[in-house]
Amino acid sequence: MPEPVRILLQTTIPETTDDWHVGRFSLLRGLLEAQLDERGAPQYAVTARDRSGVERDPVLSTLDSSDFDELWLFAVDVGDGLPAADCQGIARFHRRGGGLLLTRDHEDLGSSLCNLDGVGGAHFFHSKNRERDESRHTPDDVETKTISWPNYHSGRNGDFQKIRPIEPVHELLRNRASASGVIEYFPAHPHEGAVDAPDEQRRARVIATGQSLTTGRPFNLAVAFERDTDERGNSPGRAVAESSFHHFADYNWDIDQGCPSFVTEPPGDAVRKYPDRLNDIYAYVCNLARWLAPATRG
């Protein structure tokens, strides 16, 4: 019997009650663990943990020698969440075919991702690796004055945003259960970060965009990296760079799950009014788990 695909859900901060610790992604974990194959066996074995250690995290720094197949990394730090040893472990894991989901949020939240070669270059921040278009170096969300750019306003927590899949529609954005056959809605967030396909990465492309409710400006939501062979003969796994971890957070799937005390924006009520729209993000999560699995897993 095939073994389940092993997924590590990991944050870049130590367990901190009043922050975006890994327990605030429990609905995501539950959804993955509920997926069964045709025999009724679990498709995914999920481990969820926060960062530990100072100079190195014992799991991330040795990820390449683990039996994990995928790393879903929620970069919720302010720039110090990925020391060199962890970056090296993640890079070796990716080079051997491991799948990566790297997601962050506004301004410099999660900027430790800049320490990762390759996929890390898809993330743009306020102080590091700024967006190439300097006209975007200005606040988009103007309601929360304490948060600066990039901070694209896709809506309130607890609401949805209408997304635009980029042609040709990537398989990650297919939803056979919807009338349109594609994913149309992501959870919204008042201030999303910035992602784009790095110039030097031929295997990367933007697959979905959103639109600011403040300025009407389009912004990128997700960048997909296909499998390829690099100049050293390695075959790195697939990867996705996401503009906001709020696409996956409990609070954005169910506002009653609560949030850290520093989140002061009033929430919306669209998820309560139109819960069926959550089926799109559920489909996306399942697509990610299947698509990010190493080639050796099928």
CATH classification (class only), 5-297? alpha beta
> Residue 245: which of 113, 136, 127, 147 has the closest Cα?
113
| Residue 121 confidence (pLDDT) | 96
Report which of residues 15 and 53 the model is more confident about. 15
- Residue-wise pLDDT tens digits, 174-203: 999 999 999 999 999 999 999 999 988 889
Place 295 in a pLDDT band, splitting at 50, 70 and 90.
confident
| pLDDT, averaged across the chain | 96
Residues contacting 153, CB < 8 A, separation 6+: 140, 141, 142, 143, 190, 191, 192, 212, 213, 214, 215
> Where does residue 65 rank: exposed (0-12), middle (13-18), buried (19+ CB within 10 A)?
exposed
| Residue 201 confidence (pLDDT) | 84
Place of tokens 């390829």: 228
Fill in the DSSP letter of residue 282: H
| Residue 280 confidence (pLDDT) | 98
Q: Where are the alpha helices (DSSP H) in the chain?
A: 26-33, 84-95, 250-253, 270-273, 278-291
- Residue-wise pLDDT tens digits, 96-134: 999 999 999 999 999 999 999 899 999 999 999 999 999
CA distance 8 to 34: 16
* E-state strands within the chain: 5-11, 44-49, 70-74, 99-103, 123-124, 160-162, 164-165, 185-187, 194-195, 204-211, 218-225, 239-242
* 204-211 and 218-225 beta bridge pairing: antiparallel
Domains in the chain: boundaries? 5-297
| Residue 271 confidence (pLDDT) | 98
| Residue 184 confidence (pLDDT) | 98
| Residue 1 confidence (pLDDT) | 64
Residues contacting 227, CB < 8 A, separation 6+: 97, 203, 235, 236, 237, 238, 295
- Residue-wise pLDDT tens digits, 49-85: 999 988 999 999 999 999 999 999 999 999 999 999 9
Q: Coil, strand or helix: which one is 42?
A: strand
| Residue 298 confidence (pLDDT) | 61
Looking at the whole model, is its pTM more than 0.85?
Answer: yes
Query: Is the model's pLDDT at 285 over the cut of 70?
Result: yes
Reading the block at residue 260, the tokens are 């850290």
